[in-house]
Structure 1
C-alpha cells in the first residue's frame, strides 16, 4: 500500500480529472494496488464516479468542488486532454499533477503539437495553420487534394476532422466548422497514403524511466477505432522505428504518465507521426490481459514516480474489439450469456447509462497463438452482444 501524504494511516488517494471509461479502468487498477480514488466530473453519474464515495460531480469549473477534490487527493492525473491548462496550474499550486500543465499546453492544440514534434526532428505530414478559406484553398493547390482539415482543439474519434477532396467539399467543411456553436481554430494537414494505422503506448515517470509497449495496428472505420491487433503484423525494423518515434514524441513534450502515440505506415514504408494522446489510450486496452503490466497500472506507477512494470506481452497475440452502440437507447446490452460462452475472451462494459450510435459502450479482448486466431475469437464474441 502507498501511504497518503495528507491523511495519516490511510492509503494514497489518486485523483482523476474525468469520469469516463478510461477513468473507470484507471480506478480498477488503483483499487487492485490498494489505493483510494477520487473522481471529478461534470455529471451526476459517470462510470468512474459510480465506483467511489469520493465523487465530485459538479466538475472542475466549480471552484468549491475543485478545491474539495484537491483536498481529497494526494496526486492527480487525467483521462482526457480537454482540460484547460489554467485549471491544471491552479491544482499544481497544491498538488502534483501529471501530465503537467506545461505538457498539456504543447499537446492540447494540435497545431502546437505538430510544431513541437517538427522542432524535435520527428517525421510528420505537411501541415499549416488555417486563418482563412483562401489559405485552405492555397494549401490544396500546393499540396494537392485530398487533404485533412482539423479543428486544433477538442477533437476525438474523428469529431473535428474532415477529409476534403476538392474545392466544393472544402467549402462545405469550412462552412460546417464555422457554423459550430463554438468557433474553433483550424489547421490543414496533407492526406497520408497509408497501408496501416499504428499505435504505441509509452509510460514514463518523473525520473525518466520508460516502458514502451509493442506497436499495434488500429483498424478505423469513419475515424472510429473498431479493432486493435497486437502486435502489428509488420517487420521488426518497422516495429522498432515506430517504438522509437513514440518514445521521442513523449520525451519532446516532457511527458509523465501514459501516452498513446498514433502513427501511419505509408505505402513507401515510412512511419509518420500523427497525434499523441496524453492519457491511457483505446489502443492500449489489450494490455490488461495481454501484457505483464497494463497501461492503466503503469499510468499509476508513472504519475506516482514508482518503478514501471514490464510492457512485454505474455501471450503471442491479442485482438481488442470496441463494442459500439448500434441504436440510441439504454446502456445495458440485451444479453451477455452467449458471449460469455466463448473461450479466451474478456468482456469489459463501461456502465454508461445511454447508448448512442457509434458510442463506445465496452470492449472485448481475445488472445490467441496468432493474430488470425485472436482476431477470429474477438470478432465472433463481439457478434454475440448488442444494444
Structure 2
C-alpha cells in the first residue's frame, strides 16, 4: 500500500465525544472526518471537517455521507447495520467494523450466544421475556443482572434484580425482551482494548482495570492491579474474542476477574471505549489513532504502554439539566502530571460524561510499576477530578 498526504476522508456515524477524539487523532494523519449526528453542533462538530445533521438510521443521510468519504465507521452502537451495509455497497466504500459484527453486538443475547458458541468464557445467562420467567430465573440464580437486549450501552438498560417480587418492575424498566445474567462475586472489572487491522493482524493494549459505581465507569487504571496470571488470561481471552469479530477497528472488551482468578467476558463495544481513553497519554499510539488507521487499512501503531496512567471521568454533579460551565479548571491545568479533555457538550445533567482527565507517572518503569504506585495515581486522579464542579 502506498499512502500519500493529504489523506482520505473518513465518515463517522455518531458525533459524540468519541467522534470528537477520533477527529482530534485523525487530523495529524492528514485525515478529515465528516460526522453524522442528530444533535446540531454535536461535540465532534468543532473538530471535524463537517457534520451531517440526521438520525443514526437515516438511510438517505447515510447514503449522502458515504458519497462524500473514502471509508465509513461508527462510534455508537445505535448505528443501523443494514443501512450502513447498503450505503457501503451503493457507493463502493468500505465500512468497518463489519455491519454484521455490529448487528451481533447490538443484541446482548445474540452477542453472548456467539461468544459462548465459540467457547469463550462468559457468565451464565438466559433469555427472559415475561415476569414469570424472570421470577424463576431470579430464584434459580439467587438474583440477576437484567439487561435490555437492544439499545443499552455504557451501563444503560441494566437493572439488578435481587428478589422475584422485583421482576415485573425490572422487566418493564428495560422494555420487555431481555437477558438475565448471574450475579458474579468478582474481584474487579477489567478491560482490554483489542485492535484488528488489515490482513487479519490483531493487537491488544495492556489490560486495564475499570472502576464502576452506579453502573457508570468512574476511573480506569493502566496497567490493571491484577496478578500476572489474570493479565495473561485476559489477553488470551481478548484475542479469542477478536477472532469471533469481523471487520477492522478497535473493540472495547469488558471483562470480569472472579474471586477464583477466572476471566469472563462481560460485554463488547465495536468502537473505541471509555476504558481506553488513557491510551491518549499512556500508550505509544492512542486507541483513536489506531481506529482510524485500522478502518483505513493503514499500518497499525504500537500499543505499548509508555507510562502508567489513570483516567477519571468528569461527570455532571448538578441536580437538573443546565448550561455547562466547568469550574476550578486551573487546578488540573496547573498539575504537571495531568491532562484534561473537554467533550464540548453544551448542557450538563446528573452523571452525564462531560470530560475526563488522565494522570500519568512518567518517572515509573511501565513494566515494573508497583500496585502502591498505581494506588497513588488513582488517588491523585480522584483528587483532581473531585476538585472540579459544575455547581456555581
TM-score (structure 1 length as normaliser): 0.93
SS across alignment from 1:163? strand
Deviation per CA, 1:3-59: give whole Å up to 9, x if none.
Answer: 5xxxxx953001111000001000100001111111111121201123234210123
Deviation per CA, 1:51-92: give whole Å up to 9, x if none.
Answer: 234210123444443232111111111101121211111122
Structure 2: tracts of 5 or more residues without a match: 365-372
The aligned runs of 1:263-274 (5 Å cut-off) are: 263-274=255-266
Structure 1 counterpart of 2:303: 311
Deviation for aligned residue 1:137 = 1.7
* Segments of 4+ moved more than 4 angstroms: none
Q: Does 1:244 align with 2:236?
A: yes
- The 8 Å contact of residues 66 and 88 in structure 2, kept in 1 or not, is answered as no
- The 8 Å contact of residues 2 and 35 in structure 1, kept in 2 or not, is answered as no
Q: Does 1:216 align with 2:215?
A: no
Structure 2 counterpart of 1:128: 126
Q: Decide which moves more: 348-357 or 86-95.
A: 86-95
SS across alignment from 2:137? helix
Deviation per CA, 1:112-133: give whole Å up to 9, x if none.
Answer: 1000000110111111111222
Q: Decide which moves more: 45-54 or 290-299.
A: 45-54
Deviation for aligned residue 1:157 = 2.7
Structure 1 counterpart of 2:180: 188
- The 8 Å contact of residues 331 and 351 in structure 1, kept in 2 or not, is answered as no
Q: Distance in 1 between matches of 2:389 and 2:249?
A: 34
Deviation per CA, 1:353-377: give whole Å up to 9, x if none.
Answer: 0001100000000012331232132
Structure 2 counterpart of 1:284: 276
Deviation for aligned residue 1:286 = 0.2
- Counterpart of 1:39 (choices 35, 42, 60) is 35
- Counterpart of 1:363 (choices 356, 367, 370) is 356
- The 8 Å contact of residues 298 and 309 in structure 1, kept in 2 or not, is answered as yes
Q: Does 1:322 align with 2:313?
A: yes
Deviation per CA, 1:179-236: give whole Å up to 9, x if none.
Answer: xxxxx52111111110100100001113111111111110000000000011011111
- The 8 Å contact of residues 2 and 34 in structure 1, kept in 2 or not, is answered as no
- The 8 Å contact of residues 147 and 191 in structure 1, kept in 2 or not, is answered as yes
- The 8 Å contact of residues 26 and 296 in structure 1, kept in 2 or not, is answered as yes
After superposition, the CA RMSD in angstroms is 1.6
Q: Distance in 2 between matches of 1:43 and 1:2?
A: 34
Q: Decide which moves more: 132-141 or 299-308.
A: 132-141
Structure 1 residues 145 and 294 mapped into 2: Cα distance closer, same or farther (>3 Å)? same
Structure 1 counterpart of 2:192: 200
Deviation per CA, 1:266-303: give whole Å up to 9, x if none.
Answer: 11111111110000000000000000010001111111
- The 8 Å contact of residues 211 and 309 in structure 1, kept in 2 or not, is answered as no
Q: Does 1:110 align with 2:89?
A: no
Structure 1 residues 63 and 273 mapped into 2: Cα distance closer, same or farther (>3 Å)? closer
Q: Distance in 1 between matches of 2:114 and 2:388?
A: 43
Structure 1: tracts of 5 or more residues without a match: 4-8, 179-183
Deviation per CA, 1:336-356: give whole Å up to 9, x if none.
Answer: 112211121000000000001
TM-score (structure 2 length as normaliser): 0.92
Structure 1 residues 61 and 155 mapped into 2: Cα distance closer, same or farther (>3 Å)? closer
Deviation for aligned residue 1:255 = 4.1
Q: Distance in 2 between matches of 1:68 and 1:172?
A: 42
- The 8 Å contact of residues 200 and 212 in structure 1, kept in 2 or not, is answered as yes
- The 8 Å contact of residues 71 and 94 in structure 2, kept in 1 or not, is answered as yes
Structure 2 counterpart of 1:6: none
- The 8 Å contact of residues 130 and 186 in structure 1, kept in 2 or not, is answered as yes
- The 8 Å contact of residues 76 and 97 in structure 1, kept in 2 or not, is answered as yes
- The 8 Å contact of residues 32 and 49 in structure 2, kept in 1 or not, is answered as no
Structure 2 counterpart of 1:181: none
- The 8 Å contact of residues 81 and 104 in structure 1, kept in 2 or not, is answered as yes
- The 8 Å contact of residues 20 and 47 in structure 1, kept in 2 or not, is answered as yes
